[in-house]
Amino acid sequence: MKHLWSPWRMPYMEQPNKNSGCLFCDCLEENDGPSNLILHRGQNAFVILNRYPYNNGHMMIVPYTHAPSIENLDADVLAELMLLTKQAVMILRQEYEANGYNVGINLGSAAGAGIAEHVHIHVLPRWEGDTNFMTTTADTRVLPEALDATYRRLRAAWQQTAKNQ
Tens-place pLDDT, residues 18-41: 555 899 999 999 999 999 999 999
Is 66 tagged catalytic? Answer: no
Mean pLDDT by 10 residues, the chain (165 residues): 55 55 93 95 97 90 97 98 97 94 94 94 88 49 77 92 77
Distance CA 129, CA 51 (A): 22
Q: What is the DSSP letter of 69?
A: S
Closest CA to 60 of 71, 70, 52, 50: 50
Burial zone of 48 (CB within 10 Å; 0-12 exposed, 13-18 middle, 19+ buried):
buried
The predicted model scores a pTM of 0.81
Distance CA 145, CA 56 (A): 7
The pLDDT, as a whole number, for residue 137 is 44
The residue annotated as part of the active site, out of 40, 118, 120, 122, is: 120
Please give the CATH architecture assigned to the domain spanning 20-160. 2-Layer Sandwich (3.30)
The pLDDT, as a whole number, for residue 161 is 84
Locate the DSSP E strands across the chain: 38-41, 45-49, 59-63, 100-104, 121-126
Domain ranges of the chain: 20-160
